Structure 1
Amino acid sequence: MLKGVSVLSDSELLAILIRSGNDKQSAVELSQHILSKAGNDLNKLARMSVSDLVNNFHGIGQTKAVTLMAALELGRRRKTEGAPRQRKISSSKSAYEHFFPLLCDLNHEETWALLTDRSNKVLTTIQVSRGGISGTVVDIRLILREALSQYASGIILGHNHPSGQCRPSPQDTHLTKKLKEAAQWMDISLLDHIIVCGDSYFSFADEGII
């Protein structure tokens, strides 16, 4: 209370949330154990489910697990809302930073489309598919319908690879080519396709594929 939350370690912050440990560990020690199993990576911790926490850590029941998940979700939403809605996408990195809060903590694949005006300012971001661990099906018509309704001039596609492997699959490349060709008929440009892989990404535009 005197020095503020910024002086606390990650394990101390988690300890405040779980409030108590178990018969062998204090709340801080239990939190350190949880973080250790997540590789001391809060992004990996956020990918754990309630059952992962309950089944693997003595002293973590459903209430504590839900509390941790809720806190991490609030952090994710804060990152999402922190980006100005009218931000300008000037590079693949800025596109990646826009998609990162939406995709970084997922154990399944999702695909989102970022729609821009002629100045590359963000009009809206929409989810276009939600799939399994190894893939997802994207309906190009859904993307184009939304782009037309928003009077968008550009589209940036973004999806994640939960495996951490950033190289595009043949399906990713086929989808990119198909969407680019379809959008051109509507006088809309596919500006990039970003694959989010945690702290790294793959840009079709940077690689000269688009």
Structure 2
Amino acid sequence: MEKFTSKKKDIVFYGVFFCVIFAIDRELKGMKKISIKEWAEEDRPREKMMLKGVSALSDSELLAILIGSGNDKESAVELCKRILQKAGNNLNKLGRFSVNDLVTNFRGIGPAKAITIIAALELGRRRKSEGAVNRKKITSSDDAYAVFYPVLVDLNHEETWALLLDRSNKVVATLQVSRGGISGTVVDIRLILREAISHYASSIVLGHNHPSGNCTPSAQDTAISKKLKEAARWMDISLLDHIIVCGETYYSFADNGMI
């Protein structure tokens, strides 16, 4: 009798257990992603921008407007939040992502959406760069860094640029001198001087980036500075500084007595 009662209890227990599991499974299957269209109007990125202005939108909402849609599990905003988290919530780091980085790591991001994101970030970089060049003359390493920063900060490879200045230290031209790999680039001194002469420049500020984030000048960096300074001197042109951009900070040859 006791065995029968125990067996009956087991049957009842497992019966209830499987009923609960079945109910939970059915409920989960019935759940679906809430699309942005189902949000309150003031919370949808496009409508929110129309109602409150573009400054009211978060970075993820702005990106969501660019990509238009998410995937079967995430809305566009949720997907963009995850993309930003991958970049440490830093737009400069996001600017270093390639099309392949975005397509490979984020479901719902194809080549077209990835290109749209990268193109938008590039426009922002160019806008900032133009503003920096046009705002004032170069009177310090901070001024030079402000010009080089938007041009170089997002790059995964080394590039060297030159600012050509008039006698008032105003920028008359910006020149991309070279484009290299991750750890170095070749600088043509003759190209810099030719452009300086053609623009009637009185002085030059050289700038390049270290993608590694290490601001320490290499032996090649020092040699290029010395070579350019000596060559320019014969043409009555001064090398005022050489700036190394390494993320949110920089190294100035002039400030450190290297020029």
- What TM-score do you get using the length of structure 1 for normalisation? 0.97
Counterpart Cα distance in 1 of 2:175 and 2:222:
21
**Which runs of 5 or more structure 2 residues have no equivalent in the other structure?**
1-49
1:158 pairs, out of 180, 190, 207, with 207
TM-fit CA distance, 1:119 = 1.1
Query: 1:134 aligned to 2:183?
Result: yes
State whether structure 2 residue 149 is matched by structure 1 residue 149: no
How big is each residue's C-alpha offset from its partner over 1:30-88, in whole Å with a ceiling of 9 and x where there is no partner? Answer: 10100000011101101101111000101101111111011111111111222353730
Partner of 1:44: 93
Q: Once the 2 structures are TM-superposed, how far is the Cα of residue 151 of structure 1 from its aligned partner?
A: 1.1
Q: Any gaps of 5 or more consecutive residues in structure 1?
A: none
Letter in 2 for 1:110: E
* Superposed counterparts of 1:46-125, under 5 Å: 46-85=95-134, 87-125=136-174
CA RMSD in angstroms comes to: 1.0
Q: Is the 8 A contact 2:207 2:244 kept in 1?
A: yes
The answer to whether the Cα contact below 8 Å between 1:53 and 1:60 also exists between their aligned partners in 2 is yes
SS at match of 2:74: coil
Residue 101 of structure 1: how far off its partner (Å): 1.4
Separation (CA, whole Å) in 2 of partners of 1:195 and 1:108: 13
CA distance in 1, matches of 2:70, 2:200: 54
Identity of aligned residues (%): 76
1:21 and 1:86 mapped to 2: Cα distance? 39
Larger radius of gyration: 2
Shift of 1:198: 1.5
| Larger RCO, structures 1/2 (Cα 8 Å, 6+ apart) | 1
Partners of 1:195 and 1:79 in 2: CA distance: 19
Task: Output the amino acid matched with 1:166.
Answer: C
- Counterpart CA distance in 2 for 1:50 and 1:156 is 33
One-letter amino acid of the counterpart of residue 180, structure 2 = G
TM-score, length-scaled by structure 2: 0.79
Specify the code of the residue in structure 1 equivalent to 2:145: Y
Deviation at 1:13, TM superposition (A): 0.8
1:193 is aligned to 242
CA contact (8 A) 1:113 1:125 kept: yes
The amino acid across from 1:207 in the alignment is: N
Q: Which amino acid aligns with 1:194?
A: I
Task: Work out whether residues 85 and 123 of structure 1, in 8 Å CA contact, stay in contact via their aligned partners in 2.
Answer: no
Do 2:133 and 2:147's aligned partners in 1 also have CA atoms closer than 8 Å? no
Tell me the alpha carbon deviations over residues 10-43 of structure 1, each in whole angstroms, 9 at most, x when there is no partner: 1111111111111111111110100000011101
* C-alpha contact 2:162 2:205 (8 A) present in aligned 1: yes
Instruction: Give aligned pairs, total.
Output: 210
